[in-house]
Structure 1
Amino acid sequence: MGSSDAETRLFADLLTGYNPLERPVENASDPLIVKMKIFLQQILDVDEKNQLVSVNAWLRFTWGDYKLKWNPKDYNGIRDVRFPGTTDHIWKPDILLYNSASEDFDSTFKSNLLVYSSGEVTWIPPGVLKFVCAIDVTWFPFDEQLCELKFGSWTFHGHAIDLQIDTTDDPENSTNPQMDLSTYVVNGEWSLINSPAHRKVGYFKCCPEPYPVVKYYLHLRRRTLFYGFNLIIPSLLITLMTVLGFSLPPDAGEKINLEMTVLLAIVFFLSMVSEMTPPTSEAVPLIGVFFSCCMLVISASVVFTVVILNLHFRGPDTHVMSPLVRSVLLEWLPWILMMSRPGHTFTKGCSIQDGEAKLREPSLPINRSDLPAHQPVYEAQLLLLHSCYAELKQITAKLEKEANEERVQNDWRFAAMCVDRACLILFSLFIVISTLAIMLSAPHLIA
C-alpha cells in the first residue's frame, strides 16, 4: 500500500465522527489549553495622526486535540498531516486581536493547520496586524511609545479555553516572555527597545467566569537623526541669525528685512511640525515648544529692532532726552555692558566727559584810555572791528548750535547702540539657555 493511500485512509479515519464545532477535550469541564506566540517580522507604519500601528507578524497557536491522535506505524509512518485553514474540517480557536483596526478585523491569512500524530495541532497564520495605539507626542521627536496587542478568545471564557503564552522555544526566559525577533527587520524610523508579553485574567460584572488575555507590547523609540538634521539644526541656525541682526548697523537698512525673513522661516518650519504631529490638545510636542520659543524670540527681536531704529534716527528737532533715559541708556547701561565711547569714561554708572575744546565768543575792547580821541582813522578801524566781531559772533553761534545738535544726535545713536548690544547679549543667553533646557528635558537625545 502506497503512502498516498495511507494518507487518504488517515484523513478518513480522523474525520470519521469528528465534529469541528466540538471543543476537543475529553472532559467537558476541563479547559482547553491554547498557547500562542508572535514572530515579529517588521514594523510597517506608525501613524501618529490616526494613532494606528501596522506590523507584519506571524501568530503561532498550539493546542492538543485528543481526536486527532494516531499510531504512525498503522499509516505507513506518517507523523503529520495538514488541514486547510479556509475550511472547517477541524476545530480552531477563535483567538482575535481585540484592538484591531483592520477593515476585516481579522487580517491574518488562513494558513494550513499542522497536526502531529500525538494530537498536537500547530497553526501559524501570518498577517499584517493593524491595531490602535495611544500615541503620546509630548516628547516628539524624542518620544517613546508603548503599544499593546491584546489577544483573547472572542466567545470562550477561561473555563473553556485557557489562553497562555508559549515559551517552549525559550524555556530560560519563561518568566519574562517576549516576541520572537529572530527574523525581525530593523525599522528606519523606530528602534524596538523591548517586546514583552504578559498574561492577564479579567473578570466582568456580567459574567462570573474568568476571561484570560495575552498582551504583547511594543516598546518603540523614535530615531531622532532625521528630525535633528532636517528640523532642529536648521531652525536653531535660523534662530541664531536673529542675534546677527542686532550686530547689523542701523544705517544699513536691512535689520527689519532680516528679522522678518527669519520669522517667516520659523513659521514655515512650525507648519511642517504641525503636519507631522497629530492634532491633539492633550499635549504640546516638545519640538512644538522649541519652535514656539524660537518664534517668540524672533517676534521680540522684531519689536526691539523697531525700538532701536526709532532711537537711532531721533534728532534734537523732534525729541528731547529726559534725565532718566539719559541716566539709564547713556550711563548705567554702557557701564554694565563695558562699552566704550570716544571722549567719555564710564565709572560706576556715571559718564565722565573728557576735556574738549569749546568755541569761545570773541571779545573786542571798546573803551581804551590810551586811544587818541577824535581821530577818524581809529574810529574807522573800530567800526571795522565791530563789524568783524558781529560776523564772528554769528558764525560762532551757528557752529555751537550745529555742535549741540550733532552731540544730541550722537547721544541718541549711542543709546540705540547700547540697546542693540543689550539685546545681542540677552537674546543670545535666552536662546542658549532655552535650547539647552528644552533638549535636556527630553528622555533621550540620540536613538
Structure 2
Amino acid sequence: MRQLYTDIFTSYQPSILPNSDFSAPLQITLSPYLMTITQFQEVEETLDVALGLICTWVDDGFSWTPSSYGNAEYIIVPHTDVWTPKFVLVNSVETYEPLAGDNDIFATIYSNGTMSIVYGDVLSSKCTANIYKFPFDSQTCDLQFAVWGITSNDITIIANPISLAFYTENSNWELDSYSTKSTVMNGYSMLILTMTIKRVPLYYVIMVALPTDMFFVLNPLVFLLPVESGERLGLAMTILLSYAIFLTMVQMSIPASSNPMSVLLIIMIVTIVISGITAAVTIYIAALYHREPHVKMNSFWKFIGTRLPWSRRHTPVRPLTKNGAKGDIISSSIEESITWQEVCHALDTLMMVILYANIFIINCAFLIAVA
C-alpha cells in the first residue's frame, strides 16, 4: 500500500483541477443524504439540517493495475493530499466556508481513477417562512451548493436524488416532499435541494387553539348570570385577565411574523378584543338594569324588550271590541308597559346570540383558511 501511494503521488499536484480535457467541464456527481431536520426557526427564517454529501468524479491522474499492488482496488487518503471540490452552501446564514472545513475527512481513490469524498455537517440555510396557516403550515426551503470560485465552464454538477437511508424523523416537522436538480446560476453550476416540511400541529392545537376556543365559549356565559348577583363584571374581568395572562405564557410558542400574519394569532387578538367588549357591555347592561322606572324609554329599547323572538313581552296584543248601542264598533287597544329589567333580560339573550354566532363564523373562517 505504501508503494502504491508513492507511485501514484510521485508527480501529482493537488492544487490543479484534475481535468485532462479542458474543452469540456469536469463532471462531479453529488448524492445527498438527509440525516435529520434539526430545526426550523420562523422568526430568523432559517432551516437547520444534518446533511451528508457524497461527491464523485474522475481524476485521470490516478489509475493502476490492482494485481500489481496486492489486488488493492482502492486507497484511502486525507482529503488534503488530493484535489477536492470546495463546496459551499450558497444561501447559508453563517460563514461561507467549504463543507470540509478543517475536519480530518478522507478521500477514496479507486484503481480506475474514480474519486469519492463524503462531506457532512449541520447546515443552516435561509428559508422564507409563511406562517399564515400556523399550526397547519408547510414550509418549502432550498439548499443551494456550488464550488466557490470555479465557474460552469470548468465544473458541471450532476444531481442524484436525495437518499433517506439514514434519515431520523423530527418530532415537530415531517418531511412532506423533496427533490434535487442541477442548474447554472450566475455562471456557476449549482446543486439545489428542495424540501417541503410540514409542521406537526398536535401540541399547538392542544396548548393554544383549544384554550383560545374555550375562552371564546366562556365569554357569552357572562350574560347568564343575574345582574342582581353582582358577579357579572367580576367574571367578565376574570376571563379578560386570564386570557391576557394566557397570551403572555404562549407568546414564545407562536411565530412572530407580520408578512403574512398567522390566522391563529389574528383569532387570538380578536378573542381578547371580544373579551374587552363583553366587559364593557356588561357594565352598560348593569347601568340599564338599575335605571329608575320613570326614565323615558325610546323606541329602540321598546323594540328590544318586546319584539325580539325571546323577549318576555313578545306576545300579540289584540284590540278589544264591543258593540255600541247603535251597532257601531268601538275599539280600544291595550298599551304595553315594559320595564328596564325586561329590556336587559332581552339584551342578555341578544348578546349571547351575537357572540355565539361570531364564534361559529370565526371558527369556520379559521378552518377554511388553513384547509
TM-score, structure 1 as length reference: 0.75
Indicate the residue corresponding to 1:146 in structure 2. Answer: 140
Given that residues 48 and 277 in structure 1 are in contact (C-alpha distance below 8 angstroms), is that contact kept between their aligned partners in structure 2?
Answer: no
Given that residues 107 and 129 in structure 1 are in contact (C-alpha distance below 8 angstroms), is that contact kept between their aligned partners in structure 2?
Answer: no
- How many Å apart are 1:211 and its aligned residue? 2.0
- How many Å apart are 1:63 and its aligned residue? 0.5
Given that residues 42 and 129 in structure 2 are in contact (C-alpha distance below 8 angstroms), is that contact kept between their aligned partners in structure 1?
Answer: yes
Question: How do residues 124-139 of structure 1 correspond to structure 2 at under 5 angstroms?
Answer: 124-139=118-133
User: 2:370 and 2:304 mapped to 1: Cα distance?
Assistant: 40
**1:435 counterpart = 2:363:** yes
Indicate the residue corresponding to 2:173 in structure 1. Answer: 190
Aligned-partner SS, 1:69: coil
Question: 248-257 vs 105-114, which deviates more?
Answer: 105-114
1:90 aligns with one of 75, 82, 87: 82
Aligned CA RMSD, in angstroms, stands at 2.2
Deviation string, structure 1 residues 376-422 (Cα, Å, up to 9, x no partner): xxxxxxxxxxxxxxxxxxxxxxxxxxxxxxx98x7111100000000
Deviation string, structure 1 residues 238-295 (Cα, Å, up to 9, x no partner): 2211121111111121111111121223223334554334544322111111102212
Deviation string, structure 1 residues 99-121 (Cα, Å, up to 9, x no partner): 12235744554421111111111
Aligned-partner SS, 1:292: helix
Given that residues 88 and 99 in structure 2 are in contact (C-alpha distance below 8 angstroms), is that contact kept between their aligned partners in structure 1?
Answer: no
**1:221 counterpart = 2:198:** yes
Q: Which structure carries more strand by proportion? A: 2
Indicate the residue corresponding to 2:277 in structure 1. Answer: 300
Given that residues 86 and 98 in structure 2 are in contact (C-alpha distance below 8 angstroms), is that contact kept between their aligned partners in structure 1?
Answer: no
**1:327 counterpart = 2:302:** yes
User: 2:182 and 2:72 mapped to 1: Cα distance?
Assistant: 36
Indicate the residue corresponding to 1:376 in structure 2. Answer: none
- Who wins on radius of gyration, i.e. which is larger? 1
Given that residues 20 and 90 in structure 1 are in contact (C-alpha distance below 8 angstroms), is that contact kept between their aligned partners in structure 2?
Answer: yes
Structure 1 segments of 4 or more deviating over 6 A? Answer: none
Aligned-partner SS, 2:165: coil
**1:422 counterpart = 2:350:** yes
Tell me the number of residue pairs that the alignment of Structure 1 and Structure 2 aligns. 354
1:285 aligns with one of 259, 262, 280: 262
User: 2:306 and 2:167 mapped to 1: Cα distance?
Assistant: 69
Indicate the residue corresponding to 2:34 in structure 1. Answer: 40
Indicate the residue corresponding to 1:66 in structure 2. Answer: 60
User: 1:49 and 1:36 mapped to 2: Cα distance?
Assistant: 31
User: 1:10 and 1:261 mapped to 2: Cα distance?
Assistant: 82
The percent of aligned pairs where both chains have the same amino acid is: 24
Unaligned runs of 5+ residues in structure 1 are 1-6, 167-176, 204-209, 355-406
Indicate the residue corresponding to 2:4 in structure 1. Answer: 10
Q: Which structure carries more helix by proportion? A: 1
User: 2:226 and 2:73 mapped to 1: Cα distance?
Assistant: 90
Deviation string, structure 1 residues 338-384 (Cα, Å, up to 9, x no partner): x4x3xx5513xxx5799xxxxxxxxxxxxxxxxxxxxxxxxxxxxxx
**1:246 counterpart = 2:223:** yes
- How many Å apart are 1:154 and its aligned residue? 0.7
TM-score, structure 2 as length reference: 0.89
Deviation string, structure 1 residues 161-185 (Cα, Å, up to 9, x no partner): 111103xxxxxxxxxx3x1112211
User: 1:133 and 1:277 mapped to 2: Cα distance?
Assistant: 18
Q: Which amino acid aligns with 2:220?
A: V
Aligned-partner SS, 1:151: strand
